Amino acid sequence: MAQSIRLTAHDLSCQRGGRVLFQHLSFALGSGEGLRVSGPNGAGKTSLLRLIAGLLPMQGGRLEVGAGAPPLPELCHYVGHANGIKSTLSVSANTSFWADFLAGEPARVGSALKLLGLEALADLPAGLLSAGQKRKLALTRLFVASRPIWLLDEPSVSLDAASVKLLDAAIVKHLKSGGLAVIASHLALKVKFAHELKLGGKGSA
């Protein structure tokens, strides 16, 4: 993993449907630092993550990674509200597709499923999984392709206590190895975040 990755945001702003969600938003994340984004519903947490992932067009401001790095979207893992799981494919087929498509390591599919406790379900169609298991399946793509920036949108939704612990540990490990993480979460994760960002409810940060 490239050690020199930095994520710097200058003066970001975001409008959705004519309503200003946030403006003049700046932050800088160095290698190994996490940013926790909090705020009431509709404050723009998801929009901020999608903006960083390149899924929303920039409306103002700049996002920069270190010089010479690949384009930002290719450095990011984005796990949003929708899991992106194909219900007719088996659990392992879903994960191996991500490993292949994201140019990751197909050899790590087994260990990723094991890490999240899905190895016994590997041959089951993903449509039969419970909501929490689907969430865990979506999170396996973090482990089959290594990318320095994790963008997680409410990753702990519908996870049980044991799984939240696993996720916690995985995020800590990712940060220790020099990765970055931007996480929008209501739930208290035990990860020590280097930065906190509170998006306000009244339209601006």
Partner 1 sequence: MTPALALLRRDIRLAWREGGAIGTALGFYLVVVAITPLGVGPDLNLLSRIAPGVLWVALLLASLLSADRILHNDYEDGALDVLANGPLPLTLVVALKSLAHWITTGVPLALLAPILGLLLNLPIEAFPLLVLAMLAGTPAVSFLAAIGASLTLGLRRSGVLLALLVLPLYVPVLIFGVATVSAATTGPASPWPPLLMLCALSLASIVLAPIAAAAALRNAMR
- Name the DSSP class of 174: H
| Rounded least distance, CB 62 to partner 1, Å | 18
| Rounded least distance, CB 86 to partner 1, Å | 6
| Rounded least distance, CB 190 to partner 1, Å | 27
CA-based nearest residue to 138, from 168, 162, 165, 158: 158
CA dist., res. 119 & res. 132, Å (int): 15
| Rounded least distance, CB 47 to partner 1, Å | 10
| Rounded least distance, CB 76 to partner 1, Å | 6
| Residues lying near partner 1 in the complex (CB under 8 A) | 53-57, 73-74, 76-78, 80-89, 93, 97-98, 100-103, 106, 141
**Other CB atoms closer than 10 Å to residue 118's CB: what's the count?**
22
Q: Which is nearer to partner 1, 122 or 202 (CB)?
A: 122
Q: Which is nearer to partner 1, 23 or 59 (CB)?
A: 59
Q: Residue 74, SS3?
A: helix
Q: Which is nearer to partner 1, 105 or 168 (CB)?
A: 105
Q: Which is nearer to partner 1, 47 or 185 (CB)?
A: 47
Give Cα separations from 116 to 86, 102, 126, 136, 141 (angstroms). Answer: 18, 19, 15, 6, 11
Sign of CA dihedral 185, 190, 191, 193: positive
Q: Residue 72, SS3?
A: helix
Q: Which is nearer to partner 1, 46 or 185 (CB)?
A: 46
